[in-house]
A and B are shown apart, each in its own frame.
Chain A
Amino acid sequence: MSSLLLRSDVMDYRRRYRGIVFLVVLAFTGLIGRLVQLQIVEGDQHRAQARKNIVRTRTLNTTRGVIRDAHGQVLAGSRPSYNAYVVPEQIDMKETWPRVAQLMGLTDAERVEMEAKILGVQNSRRANQQTLLKVDLRREVVAVLETHEDQLEGVEVSPQAVRYYPYGELGAHIVGYMREVDAESLARLEGRGYRSGDRLGAVGVERRWESYLRGQRGWKKYVRKANKRRDREAIEKRYLEEPRRLEPVPGRDISLTFDIELEQSVERAMRGQLGGAVVVADVRTGRILAALSKPSFNPEVASGSKGKQAVRDAYKRLTNDPLKPRLDKTISAAYPPGSTYKPFSALAALAKRKMRAHDEVDCRGGYEFGKRYFRCTGVHRGVNLHEAIVQSCNTYFYQLGEAMRIDDLAEVGMDFGFGTKTGIGINPEARGRMPTRSWYTRRYKGQYRGGFKLLAAIGQGATTVTVLQLALAYAAIANGGTLYQPQVVRSIETSNGTVVQDFPPRVRRIVNVDPDRLSAIRSALTEVVTTRKGTAYKEHIDGVDMAGKTGTAEVSRVSAKTVDPGRVWYFNRDHAWFSGYAPAVSPEIAIVVLIEHGGAGGKNAVPVAMRVVRDWQQLRARRRAERADKKKSDSL
């Protein structure tokens, strides 16, 4: 073997050596070039990404404002609700799960259902996400679970703010409730910080004043996993840029004009009635002191404190209920007012000089008009306007109606606020209807009949009003002709009680009415209650000082086709009304009671109004005494 030849190959290599070294230098230059690109040219960008990796932002939740009544009682607030979650990936189904089920006191059915749910997601992508186990745990259960926390891996209990309504169903239609924001609202409210899963006011004050009540979320930057490290503060100082935190702004509190104690007595007075509505308003301000729509619903369940399933169930049940619990019957529904409308017909006739106060009509139990016979409630013989109101004589008003043009009736009615929205601002408002000649022409295709105005004069026919409209119109009678805009919100405050915005009473209109005529009507309304002939006299409670007018409104007949046959009798019964004010002299409150399908107003609606006014009198006396006491102690 020649060493020369061996050498030649090595020599051969030496010639290629430069080439190889060149390639190696090229390769390392390439790598270093890449380092220049990544670390120097794009360095800031990568550093930003690296910071983004470790710096997270946590949302700081705000608290929704509290809704209170006029005397500071909380009607809607927030409380923590503890929900239990399971992380399917982490839980040991053999050891931990039976213990969890036992500690939480799950029933066998719940246990089996949950077990299936956990096992269902255990092998899916959602295995590392919280799966809801139970909402709104009782406090004892929360305590037990927290005590055994270290033995219950994969079980998490976390608080969530839910809305609570201490008075439950009371005034639920006005106060409102919360609902989860849906995709459509999310799109509509874009830019206002709503997120999927948020709740917002669904009806009532909660909805109308959402933007005030809601508050504003804050945020806080933190370093991922830093809480496990001892040098946490140094780390946060190093990696977190200022500002590190934005404090949440709590929602505004809202004080209502409501008096929840009065609302409670309204509720007591309405017990035993299936459906109806009551409004109590301050005649000097138009503020709503109480508003009840019956049947009501539990706003807490509707707001989701018992979980989504409970919300769906409640919604379904409420929607299918023939008594329409979701409907706010004080604002959103219009009814024929019946005889409670007679004072306005009387005022219209006097204003248009079609009747004089002392003109008498002979009531023989009805009135023949054309081919039809219009019936009266009884045989009243000779009655003038005053007596016609006290005894609620239809015959008198038929003749009154016949003497008038229907548009004149409507004109005075509209002056008192009927047929238009009151502007209360919450809940969809029904207009009601003051039928005019042109309305009938359109409705009956030119077949206007004279009988229409007879019915309109007694608050029947096409005339409809809302309970709220009626209350404000009676307030106008009581206060000498001022029609107020109804108010439910008295003021807006910050969470520490500073008043941000105050809502003084707003006058809609001074009704064009002669004060003497108004006082004539008032004296008639007083006698409805105080004289033996008065339609409300029989149900009079001693010591109750009030005036008003009863009403029994016929309803349009329903057949067994549209409602449950067993309930036809109920839905064909008349509505019972009472509208009035108290006290009879220098009135303070107006009250309207409607009992749906309650029969005769004098017999059924009057007792309710009587009891409410009695309670109001006691409440007023107590409050005055308290104020006097306070003044005394203040001056001491």
Chain B
Amino acid sequence: MSLYDSRRRRYHDQFDWPLFLSVVLIAVIGVVNLYSATSPYALSGRTGLADVYVNQVYWLVVGGLLAILVSVIDYRNFERLAYVLYVGGVVTLLLVFVLGGEIRGSSRWIKLGSFTFQPSEFMKILVILAVAKNLSEDSKSESRTLVDLLPAGFLCALPVVLVMSQPDFGTSTIYTLSVMAMMATIKIHHKTLAALAVSGVLGGIGLWEYILLPYQKARVTSFLNPEQDKDAGWHALQSKTAIGNGGLTGEGFKEGTQNQFGFLPDQFSDFPFSVFAEDHGFVGAASLLLLYGFVCIWSFNVAASAKDRFGSAVAVGVGAMFFWHTFFNVGMAVGIIPVVGITLPLFSYGGSSVITVLVGFGLLMNISMRR
């Protein structure tokens, strides 16, 4: 059987239609929602912002092509290249400090021609690949100890430190939590778990005391007391009002007043979910969450049926990344989590984010088709 034939057969027989259709559906709804989110700008003549949904389509096309590319190359090639890619990613992250332009107080972006891209986004995939490789190389069958986890921990900690100092608290959280999810799928010694728990608490205190910047802390304190601190709690409050205003069936497409009259801040990056929930109400918002939830569970499903440990770990990593993004973004929109700049996959506007998510799904598709 020729290589071509086997490939074609895989696309025919093992093509993961549920995953594909769900992702395409989310992406389409996401673009339509961006159109609603930015429609007030069209009225006020700020066409630059009004056209972001068109740009999003471009990014989806670029990301989609990359995803197809990633899905057809056997993922074991990525396994071989994982560390090289990882080092390349770390170097790019370092470049941010040299070349990065500052936007709103933090330097996360590199300018490339007329595009800016955010290396920390792509790094998410690279960290997942490297950690997956590290975890799968160790073939022990007994419970792992702290020492066994150190290399993987380091692979995660390095980009976390780099991204924290940009500073970008949200992205480093995603790294940490995705890697933790990957680790949670392997056997770990009880003592190690206890030690991790203790160091987690201490790390949290240390983070609060020494690392978090005042504005980052303010987001947390304002989350706890939104009425007290009008400035920092304002965004969260308006988002909750927008979602609540949606009611059962919503105000209607492009009719949500909180968005249309400019009360929702960052409606196309941080709060696209609030726009959707206001337009389409509980019916729409809950259905959307079910769709996201389905994709998460499906990813873990893929992991469970993967043919090797690397594939399984990568699938868990991508699924976890998708889950944490969704959980944090929606969580902050509904006001149960402090406002941290974490995007909603395929809903938030942004090229780097869209491409990263789609490449992640390319990998997932790859693993799914080769079980």
A positions within 8 Å CB-CB of B? 1-2, 5-6, 8-10, 12-14, 16-17, 20-21, 24-25, 27-28, 30-32, 34-36, 38-40, 42-47, 49-51, 53-54, 223-225, 228-229, 239
Tell me which residues across on chain A come within 8 A of B289, comparing CB atoms: 28, 31-32, 35
Cβ of B258 < 8 Å from any Cβ of A?
yes
Given contacts A17-B304, A35-B243, contact A51 B262 (CB under 8 A): no
Cβ of B213 < 8 Å from any Cβ of A?
no
Given contacts A28-B292, A35-B277, contact A17 B300 (CB under 8 A): yes
In the complex, identify which listed stretch (B99-107, B112-120, B154-162, B183-191) lies at the interface while the others stay far away. Answer: B183-191
Tell me which residues across on chain B come within 8 A of A2, comparing CB atoms: 139
Q: In the complex the two chains form, what is the Cα distance from A20 to B319 in whole Å? A: 11
Tell me which residues across on chain B come within 8 A of A10, comparing CB atoms: 304, 306-309, 312
Tell me which residues across on chain A come within 8 A of B141, comparing CB atoms: 5, 8-9
CB distance from B230 to the nearest CB of A (A): 13
Fill in one digit per residue for B147-176: 1 if any A CB lies within 8 Å of its CB, else 0: 000000000000000000000000000000
Cβ of B330 < 8 Å from any Cβ of A?
yes
Q: In the complex the two chains form, what is the Cα distance from A228 to B261 in whole Å? A: 11
Q: Are B323 and A27 in contact (CB under 8 A)?
A: yes
Tell me which residues across on chain A come within 8 A of B261, comparing CB atoms: 53-54, 223-225
Tell me which residues across on chain B come within 8 A of A39, comparing CB atoms: 243-244, 246-248, 277, 281-282, 285
Q: Are A9 and B240 in contact (CB under 8 A)?
A: no
Q: In the complex the two chains form, what is the Cα distance from A54 to B40 in whole Å? A: 14
Q: Are A5 and B306 in contact (CB under 8 A)?
A: no
Tell me which residues across on chain A come within 8 A of B247, comparing CB atoms: 39-40, 43-44, 47
**Which residue from chain B places its CB closest to the CB of A52 in the assembled complex?**
B241
12 example contacts (A-B, Cβ-Cβ < 8 A) are as follows A6-B308, A12-B185, A13-B185, A13-B304, A32-B290, A42-B244, A46-B240, A49-B244, A50-B244, A53-B261, A223-B261, A228-B44
Partner of B300, one of A20, A45, A223: A20
Tell me which residues across on chain A come within 8 A of B139, comparing CB atoms: 1-2, 5-6, 9
**Which residue from chain A places its CB closest to the CB of B237 in the assembled complex?**
A49
Cβ of B145 < 8 Å from any Cβ of A?
no
Q: In the complex the two chains form, what is the Cα distance from A44 to B292 in whole Å? A: 27
Cβ of B296 < 8 Å from any Cβ of A?
yes
B positions within 8 Å CB-CB of A? 43-44, 136, 139, 141, 181, 184-187, 238, 240-248, 257-258, 261-263, 277, 281-282, 285-286, 289-290, 292-293, 296-297, 300-301, 303-304, 306-309, 312, 316, 323, 327, 330-331, 334-336
Q: In the complex the two chains form, what is the Cα distance from A45 to B286 in whole Å? A: 20
Q: In the complex the two chains form, what is the Cα distance from A91 to B303 in whole Å? A: 61
9 additional contacts, CB 8 Å, given A14-B304, A17-B301, A40-B247? A13-B304, A13-B316, A20-B185, A24-B293, A38-B334, A46-B244, A49-B245, A53-B241, A229-B43
CB distance from B255 to the nearest CB of A (A): 9
Q: Which 10 A-B pairs have the closest CB atoms?
A: A46-B244, A50-B245, A28-B293, A39-B282, A43-B247, A38-B244, A34-B334, A9-B309, A13-B185, A17-B304
Give the tally of cross-chain contacts (CB within 8 A).
140
Q: In the complex the two chains form, what is the Cα distance from A43 to B308 in whole Å? A: 48
Q: Are B312 and A13 in contact (CB under 8 A)?
A: yes
CB distance from B64 to the nearest CB of A (A): 25
Q: Are A27 and B277 in contact (CB under 8 A)?
A: no
Q: In the complex the two chains form, what is the Cα distance from A31 to B331 in whole Å? A: 7
CB distance from A223 to the nearest CB of B (A): 8
**Which residue from chain A places its CB closest to the CB of B309 in the assembled complex?**
A9
Q: In the complex the two chains form, what is the Cα distance from A314 to B21 in whole Å? A: 81
**Which residue from chain B places its CB closest to the CB of A229 in the assembled complex?**
B43
CB distance from A167 to the nearest CB of B (A): 50
Q: Are A38 and B243 in contact (CB under 8 A)?
A: yes
Q: Are B297 and A25 in contact (CB under 8 A)?
A: yes
- Of A5, A6, A42, A228, the most chain B CB neighbours within 10 A belong to A6
Q: Are A38 and B240 in contact (CB under 8 A)?
A: yes
Tell me which residues across on chain A come within 8 A of B290, comparing CB atoms: 28, 32
Tell me which residues across on chain B come within 8 A of A34, comparing CB atoms: 334-336
**Which residue from chain A places its CB closest to the CB of B299 in the assembled complex?**
A24
**Which residue from chain B places its CB closest to the CB of A30 in the assembled complex?**
B336
Q: Are A9 and B281 in contact (CB under 8 A)?
A: no
CB distance from B345 to the nearest CB of A (A): 14
Tell me which residues across on chain A come within 8 A of B297, comparing CB atoms: 21, 24-25
Q: Are B300 and A239 in contact (CB under 8 A)?
A: no
Given contacts A43-B247, A53-B241, contact A9 B186 (CB under 8 A): yes
**Which residue from chain A places its CB closest to the CB of B244 in the assembled complex?**
A46
CB distance from A116 to the nearest CB of B (A): 30
Q: In the complex the two chains form, what is the Cα distance from A456 to B284 in whole Å? A: 97
CB distance from B337 to the nearest CB of A (A): 10
Q: Are B244 and A43 in contact (CB under 8 A)?
A: yes
Q: In the complex the two chains form, what is the Cα distance from A128 to B316 in whole Å? A: 52
Q: Are A53 and B286 in contact (CB under 8 A)?
A: no
Given contacts A1-B139, A9-B136, contact A31 B330 (CB under 8 A): yes
**Which residue from chain A places its CB closest to the CB of B304 in the assembled complex?**
A17
- Of A31, A43, A45, the most chain B CB neighbours within 10 A belong to A31
Q: In the complex the two chains form, what is the Cα distance from A35 to B249 in whole Å? A: 12
Tell me which residues across on chain B come within 8 A of A32, comparing CB atoms: 286, 289-290
Tell me which residues across on chain A come within 8 A of B245, comparing CB atoms: 43, 46-47, 49-50
CB distance from B226 to the nearest CB of A (A): 13
**Which residue from chain B places its CB closest to the CB of A29 in the assembled complex?**
B293
Tell me which residues across on chain B come within 8 A of A54, comparing CB atoms: 257, 261, 263
Given contacts A28-B292, A50-B241, contact A225 B306 (CB under 8 A): no
Tell me which residues across on chain A come within 8 A of B184, comparing CB atoms: 16, 20
Given contacts A8-B141, A31-B331, contact A47 B323 (CB under 8 A): no
Tell me which residues across on chain A come within 8 A of B281, comparing CB atoms: 39
Q: Are A46 and B285 in contact (CB under 8 A)?
A: no
Q: In the complex the two chains form, what is the Cα distance from A50 to B278 in whole Å? A: 10
Tell me which residues across on chain A come within 8 A of B285, comparing CB atoms: 35, 39
Q: In the complex the two chains form, what is the Cα distance from A305 to B296 in whole Å? A: 70
Q: In the complex the two chains form, what is the Cα distance from A16 to B323 in whole Å? A: 17
CB distance from A231 to the nearest CB of B (A): 9
CB distance from B278 to the nearest CB of A (A): 8
Q: Are B263 and A24 in contact (CB under 8 A)?
A: no
CB distance from A541 to the nearest CB of B (A): 76
Q: In the complex the two chains form, what is the Cα distance from A225 to B43 in whole Å? A: 11
